[in-house]
Amino acid sequence: MPQIQIAQPPAEIESEPEVVGTAEPRQLSLEEMLRIMDVATALRKEHDVVEEQLNLDQIKVRLRERLLEAAQVMGERLTAEQIDTAIENYYDKLHTFEEPKWSFSVLMAHIYVRRVTIIKWAIGIGAVVALLWSLLIVVVLPSRELSGTVLAAGCHELPMATAIPLSDSEAHDSDNKSAETYQEPSAS
């Protein structure tokens, strides 16, 4: 009879747990080392891109070479000086701004950009108009009504509530009658 061997799991070896984030480089885990290397590589690549973008002379030389090759392929007879002049003109006007021509869409864009200021001015003007209107109603109109009321002749002692509003012709007639009936007191 053949012998059967039963596989047993290997005995677990107790090891010290790996501490993450220690200060000593000898104790950094592989994941931490790779993460640090990725950050360093990304920083180096960003620095190279910045250096390349800021080195305009090198960019202009490469652009000049490409334009010369393109001109030869197209059969254009361009000189290096003409290409250099074109490149300089391009870079001189590269970061300039020209205001667009006025149109309805440009007007709407300007209004949208300044919408907060426009709303503040509209509220302020509306408040001033409302204040002036309320002053007109409270002060000016009641004084016009009072100037149209005339007190009846001989009723100067009566309170204001008993004033009788008269039309201009009635007021003129009552003034004439009161002047005719008025007699100066005799000094006796």
Between 99 and 174, the higher pLDDT residue: 99
Segment 92-107 shows an average pLDDT of 92
Residues 6+ apart with CB under 8 A from 150: 163, 164, 165, 166, 171, 174
For the chain, the structural domain boundaries read: 25-92, 104-180
H helix runs in the chain, sequence order: 30-54, 56-74, 80-92, 104-113, 115-135, 141-148, 168-181
Residue 151 pLDDT grade (very low, low, confident, very high; cuts 50, 70, 90): very low
3-state SS class at 172: helix
Residue-wise DSSP of 38-92: HHHHHHHHHHHHHHHHH-HHHHHHHHHHHHHHHHHHHT----HHHHHHHHHHHHH
The pLDDT assigned to 69 comes to: 93
**pLDDT of residue 153 exceeding 50:** no
Residue 142 pLDDT grade (very low, low, confident, very high; cuts 50, 70, 90): confident
Residues 6+ apart with CB under 8 A from 87: 60, 63, 64, 67
Report the distance separating Cα 32 and Cα 20, nearest Å: 8
**pLDDT of residue 182 exceeding 70:** no
pLDDT digits (tens, 9 = 90+) for 32-86: 999 999 999 999 999 999 988 888 888 899 999 999 999 999 999 989 899 999 9
Between 148 and 99, the higher pLDDT residue: 99
Report the distance separating Cα 135 and Cα 35, nearest Å: 74
**pLDDT of residue 175 exceeding 80:** no
Residues 6+ apart with CB under 8 A from 151: 158, 163, 164
The pLDDT assigned to 166 comes to: 56
**pLDDT of residue 92 exceeding 60:** yes
Segment 157-181 shows an average pLDDT of 56
The pLDDT assigned to 184 comes to: 59
Nearest to 32 by CA among 43, 44, 45, 18: 18
Average pLDDT in the chain: 79
Segment 148-168 shows an average pLDDT of 52
The pLDDT assigned to 152 comes to: 42
**pLDDT of residue 172 exceeding 60:** no
Strongest mean pLDDT among 23-37, 80-94, 106-120? 106-120
